[in-house]
Amino acid sequence: MPRIALYPGSFDPVTNGHLDVVRHAVTLCDRLIVAVAVNSSKKPLFSTEERLAMLQEVCGPIAQKAGCAFECATYDNLTVTAAQKAGATIMIRGLRDGTDLDYEMQLAGMNEAMAPEVHTVFVPASPAVRPITATLVRQIAQMGGDFSAFVPSSVAAQLKAKFAS
């Protein structure tokens, strides 16, 4: 039976922290689905289509190099429901610090109660990417700062274009 993992998030934008999680996740499964959450009450910087394209461009080669099947998807329901619909038995969650752990433990407990067949796997962030958040990257970009060390170069170009006007 293939090990299918779902890595959910907003990915607005894709950061080097996200890539760090993907590098670890592709060693844990046979197929990785990176799923973009679509929430109509939120106004993301990048459209769903832009985020999917960024993820495919920067994460696809990582998965291919590891011999892991890769795809991007969207979902607009409970994350655990998205995992079930995708046939995933593993849900990947990145952890930067203790605050993340506290929150993620609550989510993992609730998800396990709703779908005991979906197991949450926590991937600790590598030290170099621990401080990176998409929110901080957006703020730095909006205020004209140098965010290039926090995102892949292709994402940096797209961010620059968003704030060039």
Distance CA 156, CA 98 (A): 28
| 24 labeled part of a ligand binding site | no
Q: Does 48 appear as a known binding residue?
A: no
119 labeled binding residue: no
Q: Are 31 and 4 in contact (CB under 8 A)?
A: yes
Q: What letters, b where the CB count within 10 A reaches 16 and e where it falls short, cover 22-58?
A: bbbbbeebebbbbbbbeeeeeebbbebebbbbbbeeb
Known binding residue 129? Answer is yes
* Residue 99 marked in a binding site: no
Q: Is 130 one of the annotated binding-site residues?
A: yes
95 labelled binding-site residue: yes
The C-alpha atoms of residue 61 and residue 165 are separated, in whole angstroms, by 31
Residue 93 is assigned to a ligand binding site = yes
Q: Mark the binding-site residues for substrate, compressed into ranges.
A: 10, 42, 79, 93
Q: Mark the binding-site residues for ATP, compressed into ranges.
A: 10-11, 18, 94-96, 104, 129-135
Q: Mark the binding-site residues, compressed into ranges.
A: 10-11, 18, 42, 79, 93-96, 104, 129-135
